[in-house]
Amino acid sequence: MDIEQRKCDAFEEALRLIHKFFPESRSVFSKERGMDIYNFVAAMKFCDCKLDVSCDPFGIPSKPDLGLNKKGGFNGEYDIIFERLLNHANFLPSGRCVIIPDTINENAWSKHPVIPIVCDWKMAGQRIKELESGDLFRATSFDSLFVFESGEAMGVDHDNRFFWAKSKKRKYKK
């Protein structure tokens, strides 16, 4: 199996798990429509999506500012930022985590340089720390998505706007 096929397989498995972990995403987050951060945010809106723009470097929009920047925002090591985001969202996830370090709005998965990661949620901070790219959580760069088996999801767009929601349809038992 070549590298391009393995990339496609990784994206397909990530998409399958995301649909399982956050069922509201099925209609808007797909290979056909794209695995784009804003497609996923559309799914989050069915679940009382929260937004904090306090870390947007351009200050557009200026609200809602829910205080993430005052807590340290996106400063520090990836694992520390990840923990800060979990705490800010008041998430206590369990099970696996699907991480898409850089979402894409087309289905050219085999050409995409960064593939999804699936791991136990407790390892997610360590796994993103291992990424070769220094662009995760850096404004004007990646759009990143984290979806947890217990139904929580959070995303960060390229302007460091932070989105989060908990699935209303996910029935998870530890």
> pLDDT band at residue 140, thresholds of 50, 70 and 90?
low
**22 DSSP 8-state letter:** S
| pLDDT at site 152 | 97
Task: Check whether 124 has a pLDDT greater than 90.
Answer: yes
Q: Which residues pair with 34 in a beta bridge?
A: 30
Which pLDDT band, with edges at 50, 70 and 90, does 173 fall under?
low
Each domain of the chain, given as residue ranges in start order, spans 3-166
Are residues 98 and 18 in contact, defined by beta-carbon separation less than 8 angstroms?
A: yes
pTM for this model (two decimals): 0.90
pLDDT tops 90 at residue 164: yes
Give me the phi and psi of 21, to 5 degrees please: -75, -30
